[in-house]
Amino acid sequence: MTIIQARNLSKSYRISEKQPGLAGSLRHLVRRVHRDVVAVDQISFSIEPGEFVGFLGPNGAGKTTTLKMLTGLIHPSGGELEVAGHQPWRRQARFLRQITLVMGNRQQLIWDLPALDSLQVNAAVYGLEPVAAARRIRELAEMLELGPELQRPVRKLSLGQRMKAELLAALLHSPSVLFLDEPTLGLDVNARVRVRDFLADYNRQTGATVLLTSHDMGDITALCPRVLLIHEGQLFHDGSLALLTQRLAPCRQVRLELADLHPSEAFAGFGQIEEHHGHLLRLLVPRDQLTERVAALLERFSVLDLEVGDPPIEDLIGVLFRSRDAAARGDSP
């Protein structure tokens, strides 16, 4: 039985545009120019109960808009959507009791009070009996390695402790569908790993369905066997992470700090130039030609520093889209 089903899901906004300066302001005042922006463009996917799915895409791709539609915070402009047997936008109490949304840049805990105060409110709102609520708080606190921190005002907690307390508050009512929007945003490496471990354990122990968006590929590779890749509101990949890596992995990122200045054309044969400012150069190089290209670069140019790594997800996706465009141009007569 499918727990999340989206068919041709779309969302567009009408925004007004204003030119800068006094003339622009006056024009905006008397004659407003509107433009329709398509944030999500007819995406379709389904998720089975218990799945842990990564939702990937660059900034502005439509990830958060999709999550907001799935949770019922915003109304779709088109398409069909069903989550846990409900139409989310109706925000029925029975639906709201089954889901939770954690946003790394938003908080539900009361800032000036200990997290326990907010947890008591959540327990009452979701109808948890005091004994059951206390037991649940204890269990989750143990999993999240939280103790006396719950009795300190939220404002006094570190970012990592605050995020764990937010997770505790979001999971108190045992939701069966978790929507997590950048839950590791701003956390240091240790805190990030602990949050990841917790999410993996929670998914394994409760069988909850999780849809996770993150810019951190570490989160995705550690947690999500399946990923949805979205760009400019369109779904470009729905499948295993291994399959996505196969499509994107041919490239690695080579960062160079050069001793001398060279025109960009000088690096034409070495890879895809992603960035070139003064002495700094960033190239995407096919993985199977990495050794010879780097050797050639070192031989031909005076290099002060060199770093090889995986390119940011945005760049990988960019390569994917460019190759699609090139293929499309090649196919056309």
Question: Would you count residue 71 as binding another protein (CB under 8 A)?
Answer: yes
Identified binder of another protein from the candidate list 115, 123, 137, 228, rule CB under 8 A: 123
List binders of another protein among 146-185 (CB under 8 A). Answer: 153
Instruction: For residue 247, give Cα distances in angstroms to 86, 171, 244.
Output: 35, 35, 5
**Residue 119 or residue 244: which is nearer to another protein going by CB?**
119
Q: Looking at beta carbons only, is 113 or 200 nearer to another protein? A: 113
| Cβ count near 120 (within 10 Å) | 18
Rounded to an integer, what distance in angstroms lies between the CA atom of residue 215 and that of residue 182? 7
Q: Which of 18, 32, 91, 204 binds another protein (CB under 8 A)?
A: 91
User: Of the listed pieces 73-81, 211-219, 229-237, 251-259, which binds another protein according to CB under 8 A?
Assistant: 73-81
E strands, the chain, in order: 4-17, 33-47, 52-56, 78-83, 99-103, 177-181, 209-213, 226-231, 234-240, 251-258, 272-277, 280-286, 303-309
| Residue 94-113 contact track with another protein, rule CB under 8 A, x = bound | --xx-xxx-x--xxx-x-xx
Footprint of another protein on 244-273 (CB under 8 A): none
Q: By CB under 8 A, tell whether 72 contacts another protein.
A: yes
Residue type, 326: A
Structure-token pair, residue 235: 């779904």
From 50-58, 125-133, 183-191, 244-252, give the range in contact with another protein by CB under 8 A.
125-133
Determine if 83 is a binding residue for another protein (CB under 8 A).
Answer: no
Token code pair at residue 117: 């105060």
Draw the binding track, 266-305, toward another protein (x: CB under 8 A; -: no contact).
----------------------------------------
Within a 13 Å sphere around the CA of 19, how many CA atoms are in the beta-carbon half?
A: 10
